[in-house]
Amino acid sequence: MTTRRSFVAGVGAGILLLPFPAAAQQAPARKRLGILLYNSPQIDPIGLLLNGLKDLGYEDGKTITIDYRFAEGRAERLPQLAAELVALKPDVIFAFGGDVAPHVKKATSTIPVVALVSTDPVQSGLVASLSRPGGNITGVTQVYDELSGKVIELLKEAVPGISRVGVLWNPDHADPEFQEIKQAATRLGVNVTSLEVRRAGDFGGAFETALRERAEGLIVISSRLLLQQRRQIAEFGMKNRIVMVGNWSAWVKDGLLLTYGANAGDMMRRIVVYVDKVIKGARPADLPMERPTRFELTVNQGTARALGIALPPTLLARADEVIE
């Protein structure tokens, strides 16, 4: 005869064999973010991205898994690294750079990609249009209509008598900046010389052309190649007393007279927003690629003094930062 005690024990054992209720089931899989870099996390400025994600509750190893792949400055490694990230099947991939994002595009047409580029994403074939990307890629581009035209206007304001300007640029870096400069130069009565560089060995010839054409000013259109040669560009300009301007504020500390361009911090903060939206289910095709909305004028007063340039007070008053 079954006793009450043995019956209760049997019921208890049976309960242990039943599946756990839904509330006690295994937590959902942690979201995964892939990051592809040209250089490395120590060199590429992704701190704002990581901090921004942390502020939203995404902490690597706790609430999200972040997988890094970086080429350490070797472009030939990017296709394989992109393929490796795709094989991990992350929920979203962040591609940092207009020379990085195309490799991710080739590696996947399904995994969402958020990119930060300084190229024209339409001209480079990254997206169908800014308002309707149309695929698995969206993000932020630093290219803005008439931005480079504004740079030459500021150069002319700083040095009103300037009439011959060289433009140092990489034609393989897809953007409309050189054409914008030409159009603005025509309006301002400035003669423009194209100084094309596609590899490190091209700079010597470009500098010789600038001297032969008696360039009084030099506009630096930033790209990965030019950033790698920042020191020799700055030394060339200072040695030959050529007034240099550009569109990335980091160049001012190297000796450029002034720069005018997008705020890099703002751009990365927008990337954080996009990554968060995609993780929460938004489709890149429905997220227009953004362009910068705020620009900063940075002036190097020390360079002005070294070149004997008295900058107009009105220009200095408009500057967001003046380096002494």
Torsions phi, psi for 19 (to 5 deg): -65, 150
Count CB atoms within 10 A of the CB of residue 281.
Answer: 8
Instruction: Give the bridge partners for 260, in sequence order.
Output: 297
Closest CA to 38 of 90, 91, 116: 116
Cα torsion at 260, 266, 268, 273 (round to 10°)?
A: -150
Query: What pTM does this model have?
Result: 0.83
Domains of the chain with CATH codes: 31-141+264-286 (3.40.50.2300), 147-262+295-323 (3.40.50.2300)
Closest CA to 41 of 19, 70, 6, 9: 70
CA dist 171 → 25, 74, 167, 190, 225 (Å): 56, 20, 11, 21, 11
Q: What string of pLDDT tens digits covers the 324 residues of the chain?
A: 444 333 334 444 443 444 444 444 555 679 999 999 999 999 888 999 999 999 999 999 999 999 999 999 999 999 999 999 999 999 999 999 999 999 999 999 999 999 999 888 998 899 999 999 999 999 999 877 667 789 999 999 999 999 999 999 999 887 778 888 999 999 999 999 999 999 999 999 999 999 999 999 999 998 889 988 999 999 999 999 999 999 888 888 889 999 999 888 899 999 999 999 999 999 999 999 999 888 999 999 999 999 999 999 999 999 999 998
List helix spans (H) across 194-320. 203-212, 224-228, 230-239, 264-279, 301-306, 313-318
CA dist 255 → 166, 242, 247, 287 (Å): 17, 11, 13, 38
> What does the alpha-carbon distance between residue 155 and residue 181 come to, in Å, rounded to a whole number?
11
